[in-house]
Amino acid sequence: MKSNFKMPQEELKMSFDPNTIEHLGVRMYSTLPPVLAELIANAYDADAASVSLTLKDEGEKEIIIEDDGSGMSFEEINSKFLRIGRPRRQEENKQETEKGRKVIGKKGLGKLSFFGIAHEIEITTKKDGKKNTFAMNWEDIKAEKKEYKPKVVKNDESCSAKEHGTKITLRKIQRESVFSSEDIVNALARMFIIDSGFEITLRRNSEKPITITNDRRFAGLEKEVEWKIPADSEYNDDYDKTSKIVGHLIATKKPIPPKADMRGIILFSRKKMVNRPEYFSDSTSSHFFSYLTGWLEVDFIDDLEEDVIATNRQSLNWGHEEMIKLRTHLGGLLNWLERDWRKKREAKRQKELTEATGINISDWFSKLPDDIRKKIEPIVRAIIKDSELSDEINKKAVVELHGIVPEYANLHWRHLHPEIQRISKEYYEKQNYWHAATEAVKHYILTVRKKSGSAQTNDQPMMGESFGKDSGLLLVTANSDMVENDIEDGQKFLSMGIVAGFKNPVVSHSTIESIKARGLFDEKDCLDILSLLSHLQKRLDNGKKR
């Protein structure tokens, strides 16, 4: 005979102070990403290989978080999940999961997070061939005083022994706007460092699922300089945990928009954020800070005897002795990063400008007279280092400046006598100023000899015979007063000097290579010779036989 006797259904029970859930759930978690982060952390601690997030906002909003972790038995729901403030690490006396993961959960309060955005929660969990489902309602919880009994939907219902994991469904969502997949995915990427053995996907309605990756942490940012810590850091102090700090920092090409909430360095411990982006400095006025973002792992803080991580994992207890040391070290690191950033940024931008414009900026400056360089260099350096204008505008500004004030050789060319330009052009354009000067000197000598009719075969005496106030074959002025007398003698002695001082040693008595090696002349001297020849040629143009 079949018995109609049924065992009384077991109960689930949650003991609490109503204010606890109000303060640690509803008020502390008022936005979606931190709530999802807590539930993802639970899945990670349950050794899940994957967790999927489904956001529904077509009609009544609903959020589903499902993982393939170890799941919970009915007894574990009561003794672990529904116990508010259960110190998991102390109670289980272990810091790692069965898979060897460092346990993230610590205070037993993250489970309250979903009440910050949803008023109705249903949880289905499978373990050891048993499936349990229960539901909780925020309004019912508030109506109770000390003890709340969730509604048991399924109690130890049989399922395949291969099935395991937990599914959490949030209903009566407390937000009016639709979900933004990209915004939520990017926010979650900044809250976790995702292991290779842990996959997080998010889907909104029927959209294609998005896999959350570490690369998304810098989504939408154009990197200019980056540092892998500690490999790329040269900062040294006496902090004894420097080698335990690892991470990835970047400086962007353009300032990070303040509303992006990404300026500064995020701190992680055990793969989850423990401190929002900040600069670890009392000063927030540094120009550098608007470009800096990234993350550092400081897992050792979880090993401290005293808990220094805030319940919502948004900040650390910076008043703690060990945290003061950490903050001092990080402040020093940022100071070093700023100096390194300025140096690398300038070098990188200068290289990019050189490639874009064809102007070798360092070479340009080196070929400007000091008085001109001192005026031009600060302007160009400001464009390279600090300009927030577009690359195209910066490029145009440098090209225009270079056009106004080119390298000394190009600036110098503009002022050469047309005849000197004609003779020296072939070599000048190839930047062979030595041959340009020697060819111009030889041409000047031939021109003077032809115009004066001097029979002297030696170049220096020929110049002495061709010019001079007293007996020169040519006059370059009216030679009517002392000023013009001086000019006549000046033409004589300068012409003799250019033969004796340049043509003879460089062309007649040595080689260019030998002169260079001895440091007796350089390219600047050759340009100066061309300038002097331009002056002498101009006088010669006006020369007439005496």
The tens digit of pLDDT for each residue in 20-67 reads: 666 565 666 778 998 999 999 999 999 999 999 999 999 999 999 999
Mean pLDDT of the residues in the chain: 88
Strand-pair category, 544-545 with 474-475 = antiparallel
CB 44, CB 198: distance < 8 Å: yes
Positive or negative, the Cα torsion across 495, 500, 505, 507? positive
| Residue 5: predicted pLDDT | 42
157 bridge partner residues = 131
Nearest to 445 by CA among 483, 399, 496: 496
pLDDT at position 284 over 70: no
What is the reported pTM?
Answer: 0.69
| Residue 358: predicted pLDDT | 86
Q: Look up residue 422 and give its two tokens.
A: 């004609």
Residue 511, judged by CB atoms within 10 A of its CB (0-12, 13-18, 19+), counts as exposed
pLDDT at position 203 over 50: yes
| Residue 25: predicted pLDDT | 55
Query: Under CATH, domain 14-216 is a member of which superfamily?
Result: Histidine kinase-like ATPase, C-terminal domain (3.30.565.10)
Note the pLDDT tens digit of each residue in 296-310: 999 999 999 899 998
CB 45, CB 86: distance < 8 Å: no
- Cα–Cα distance measured from residue 509 to residue 527, given in angstroms and rounded to the nearest whole number: 21
Q: How far is CA 306 from CA 8, 83, 108, 327, in A?
A: 44, 22, 16, 17
Task: Quickly tell me which residue has 């079949």 as its tokens.
Answer: 2
